Chain A
Amino acid sequence: MKSEFLLQIKDLKASIDNKSIIKGLSLEVKPGEIHAIMGPNGSGKSTLANVLTGRDLVTVTDGSVTFEGRNLLDMSPEERAREGIFLSFQYPIEIPGVSMVNFMKTAINEQRKHRGLEPLSASEFLSQMREKKELVEIDSALTNRSVNEGFSGGEKKKNEIFQMAMLEPRLALLDETDSGLDIDALRIVANGVNKIRSADTSVIVITHYQRLLDYIIPDFVHVMFDGRIVKSAGPELALELEKRGYDWIRKEADIAEESWITDRKL
């Protein structure tokens, strides 16, 4: 049975090392929608990304997550990726000695195998690389190097967007993709996202600040506090947060002072 939702999270609870981080979170994303999840440090935004991608340091204690109507939590991390979930990492990982070309080729062909397709030929693959490099305005030299090795912060983020363009995900999670970017890099990253967004591709933008949302206009903005979504609205909410900060939401949602102070980084 096909669900009208691409992603459906119901009453999710998750913990790390027995410490409860996500405390009952629900979210529904339809194909083609862009959702922004905002909130102060330690509110559980990155943990949510970890739950969705299957990172094993997070334990789901309650609730359900379905992706295209199927139980996502049953799938291994690589299976989720092959099904079309892509995470743009907050801190992209360096893999010395592994060329970007080899890495991307392996990733794409694993995805194709999963979908019953033949592997791409070398020339098909290279022309796809070229096309996507232009699309996201990534420097050609970067893809000749080892995965993220010696890349600057901005280059790493651009490289994430390049990989996203190559893999054409159904659901892209951008975890603090704007952090550490200068204004030009921010524009390039946002353009890349806007170019791959389509009726089929949904995006969840996880961010602390509003500025990325000047470039990627979300359909919905959700504010996370202490492991829950406490307010959801249209794009105007992001602007309001920018102006007024998070404090009024905390008061409005009546969240205890101590949980607001919890400054937990993952």
Chain B
Amino acid sequence: MENDQDKVLNEVTTGEYKYGFVTDIETDVIPKGLSEDVVRLISAKKEEPEWMLEFRLKAFRHWLTMKMPAWANLKIPEINYQDIIFYAAPRQKPAPGSLSEVDPQLIKTFDKLGIPLEEQKRLTGVAVDAVMDSISVKTTFRETLAELGIIFCSFSEAVREHPSLVQKYLASVVPYTDNFFATLNSAVFSDGSFCYIPKGVRCPMELSTYFRINTSNTGQFERTLLIADEESYVSYLEGCTAPMRDENQLHAAVVEIVAERGAEVKYSTVQNWYPGDRDGKGGILNFVTKRGMCKGDDSKISWTQVETGSAITWKYPSCILRGNNSTGEFYSVAVTNNYQQADTGTKMIHIGKNTKSTIVSKGISAGFGQNSYRGLVKVLGKAEGARNFSQCDSLLLGDKCGAHTFPYIEVDNPSAIVEHEATTSRIGEDQIFYCNQRGISTEDAIGLIVNGYAREVINKLPMEFAVEAQKLLQISLEGSVG
């Protein structure tokens, strides 16, 4: 019986990673390694203004004084920063004006990933910024959006075209000194997406960035800056994949969100970086700093993430609730299978009066996976009437994986109400058999149970993403249950 269980468990958790291909394309690569010269070189390649270079250099000098954080519940292989390429770009004219100027190979790559760059081919209203390795390849629907005054472009372009906005908001939520990986990103970030929604505008389509790592030995350091001006609304999606490679690849991104008075931002991620093979070889090391600032009163930021990829995930999408009556939400499903490790969660910092936050975290561990929830709810002294509700659930598949919860609660205002609920459960042999007895195969039973478990979070995703996320959950647990 034990053997049978292991067998099915193995079958369900050994789904193939279907985005593991490599695109053969001419790439502009700088030599390996990191130094002040490399930082200058990246800045020069991007023809950046002096203030941008200054920002990078400040960050780099600060980074040299920092040590990699060791507090996460992760076993991180040593990262040799001199062995990483910090800039790789598919060779093409910068920021192509029309699709005909984009290399057909790139178009094919994104087609294969299910991200057609041809606007007329897109049935759903999603505007995409496609980023390959270090640069933005193509942003769709720009003209449509521009009519409403919405700026949606690559970060590099924003630096050139909208310097005052970038200067005003860059590092205003994640300062360059914030943490080891955010500081590294500040020094060497290559590209990413920039988005500005003007006052009172409700963005009519989903905005989306699709990140693709292609070149080997390359680190990806993208930076996203999203500004929702007063009374505006935007829903933003982020997807990512990478080829299968035996060596680890570093991904250290920064996402900053600013929500002004009355603005609402929904940020959804389906993270599907290459997780490494069944024995834990290779895979993306994902160290990401995501933070939103509810700057104005009555603003709202909502993070939804489905994390199925990466060998290591270190990620805490957070909200600083500065405006009165502002709201922060975090909905997360994190899957660790085989030898994947995840230490993920959120921080909700209540500063304004009557601020509210909700945390729903669902961890799923299978194989030898280790899944940790780490969260901080902090209520400052002036945050009269702050409310938080946290729910952390863990689901275990098999008996060789682990689930851990590290909730931190710091409350300095006596009127605050903070609630925390946690559960741990496992998919039992009896549940599977019950499904079997109704004609449902073991794999489908696991799909049903896992999707049922994650439903609360998946329901928060935009429709097209929700379907993809459901499939992804099932695939990433393929072969894992019994």
Determine how close the nearest CB of chain B comes to the CB of A101; give it in whole angstroms. 12
A116 touches B (CB below 8 Å): no
Q: Which of B431, B440, B448, B453 contacts A93 (CB 8 A)?
A: B431
Q: Of the candidates A77, A92, A111, A167, which one forms a contact with B436 in the assembled complex, judged by CB atoms under 8 Å apart?
A: A77
Chain A residues, CB < 8 A from B436: 54, 76-78, 81
- State A89–B435 Cα separation when bound (angstroms): 12
The B406-435 residues at the A interface (CB cut-off 8 A) are 425, 428, 430-431, 433-435
Output the residue of B1, B442, B444, B452 with the most chain A CB within 10 A: B452
Bound CA–CA A66/B425 (angstroms): 38
Kindly supply a per-residue 1/0 record for chain A positions 19-30, scoring 1 wherever the CB is within 8 Å of any chain B CB and 0 otherwise. 000000000000
In the complex, chain B residues whose CB is within 8 Å of the CB of A77: 433, 436-437
- Contact check, A96 vs B453: say whether CB atoms are below 8 A apart: yes
Q: Are A78 and B425 in contact (CB under 8 A)?
A: no
Contact assessment for A114 and B434 in the assembled complex, using a CB-CB cutoff below 8 Å: no
Say yes or no for A140: interface residue by CB 8 A criterion.
Answer: no
Does A102 count as interface, using CB distance less than 8 angstroms? yes
> Does A195 make an interface contact (CB < 8 A)?
no
In the complex, whether A120 has a CB less than 8 A from a CB of chain B is: no
User: Does B41 sit within 8 A of A, measured CB to CB?
Assistant: no
Beta-carbon contact of A81 and B452 below 8 Å = no
Consensus secondary structure, chain A interface: mixed
A98 touches B448 (CB 8 A): yes
* Complex interface: chain B residues within 8 A of A97 (CB): 449, 451-455
Chain B residue numbers with a CB within 8 Å of A86 are: 437
Partner among A78, A89, A96 whose Cβ is within 8 Å of the Cβ of B440: A78
A103 near B438 with CB under 8 A, answer: yes
Q: Is B147 an interface residue (CB 8 A)?
A: no
Q: A111 to nearest B CB, angstroms? A: 5
CB neighbours of B428 from chain A (8 A) = 93
A98 to B444, CA, bound (A): 12
How distant is the Cα of A106 from the Cα of B440 in the complex, in angstroms?
A: 7
- B433/A95 in contact, CB under 8 A: no
Contact of B434 among A76, A93, A96 (CB under 8 A): A93
The reply to whether the CB of B439 lies closer than 8 angstroms to some CB of chain A is: yes
Complex contacts, B451 vs chain A, CB 8 Å? 97
Is A107 on the interface with B (CB-CB < 8 A)? yes
| Nearest CB of chain A from residue B481's CB, rounded to whole Å | 14
Complex: A106 Cα to B454 Cα, angstroms: 18
Beta-carbon contact of A96 and B452 below 8 Å: yes
- Is A55 an interface position by the 8 A CB rule? yes
- Is A57 interfacial (CB-CB < 8 Å)? yes
Number of A-B contacts (CB under 8 A): 76
Q: How distant is the Cα of A235 from the Cα of B1 in the complex, in angstroms?
A: 39
Interface centre among A87, A146, A147 (most CB of B within 10 A): A147
Determine the interface band of chain B, counting residues with CB < 8 A from chain A. 20 to 34
| Interfacial chain A residues near B439, Cβ < 8 Å | 78, 81-82, 107, 110-111, 114, 167
Chain A 232-266, CB-CB to B under 8 Å as 1, else 0, gives 00000000000000000000000000000000000
Set B430, B433, B444, B455: member contacting A106, Cβ < 8 A: B444
Residues of A contacting B37 in the complex (Cβ-Cβ under 8 angstroms) = none
Instruction: Answer whether residue B4 sits at the interface, using C-beta atoms and an 8 A cutoff.
Output: yes
> Of the candidates A57, A87, A102, A146, which one forms a contact with B1 in the assembled complex, judged by CB atoms under 8 Å apart?
A57
The verdict on A99 contacting chain B, using a C-beta distance below 8 Å, is yes
**What separation, in Å, do the CA atoms of A103 and B435 have in the docked complex?**
8
Q: Using Cβ atoms and an 8 Å threshold, which residues of chain A touch B440?
A: 78, 103, 106-107, 110
Closest CB in chain A relative to B7 CB, distance in Å: 11
| B434 and A107 form a contact (CB under 8 A) | no
By beta carbon, the residue of chain B nearest A17 is: B1
Residues of B within 8 A of A99 (CB): 452
User: Which A residues, 89 to 138, have Cβ-Cβ distances below 8 Å to chain B?
Assistant: 89, 92-99, 102-103, 106-107, 110-111, 114
Q: Which chain B residues numbered 1 to 56 have a C-beta less than 8 Å away from chain A? A: 1, 4
A214: Cβ under 8 A from any B Cβ: no
Interface membership of A163, Cβ < 8 A: yes
Q: Is B441 an interface residue (CB 8 A)?
A: yes
Residues of B within 8 A of A53 (CB): 437
Instruction: Tell me, in angstroms, the Cα distance from A112 to B441 when the chains sit together.
Output: 14
Specify the chain B residue showing the minimal Cβ separation from A113: B439
Q: Which residue of B lies closest to A147 (CB)?
A: B434
A114 to B441, CA, bound (A): 12
User: Once the chains are docked, how many angstroms separate the CA of A86 from the CA of B425?
Assistant: 27
- Most A CB contacts (10 A, CB to CB) among B4, B428, B440 go to B440
Q: By the criterion CB–CB under 8 Å, are A81 and B437 in contact? A: yes
Q: Is the CB of A103 within 8 A of B437?
A: no
Q: Contact flags (1/0) for A64-95 with B, using CB distance below 8 Å?
A: 00000000000011100110001101001111
In the complex, the chain A residue whose C-beta lies closest to that of B427 is A95
A81 (CB) vs chain B CBs: closest residue? B439
Residues of B within 8 A of A (CB): 1, 4, 425, 428, 430-431, 433-442, 444, 448-449, 451-455
Instruction: Identify the 9 closest CB pairs spanning chains A and B, nearest first.
Output: A97-B452, A98-B452, A77-B436, A81-B439, A107-B438, A93-B434, A110-B439, A82-B439, A97-B453
13 contacting pairs across A/B (C-beta < 8 A): A78-B437, A81-B437, A89-B434, A95-B449, A96-B452, A102-B448, A103-B440, A103-B448, A106-B440, A106-B448, A107-B440, A110-B441, A163-B438
Further pairs besides A76-B436, A92-B434: 13, Cβ < 8 Å:
A55-B433, A57-B1, A77-B433, A81-B439, A89-B434, A95-B448, A96-B425, A97-B452, A97-B455, A103-B438, A106-B440, A107-B439, A147-B434
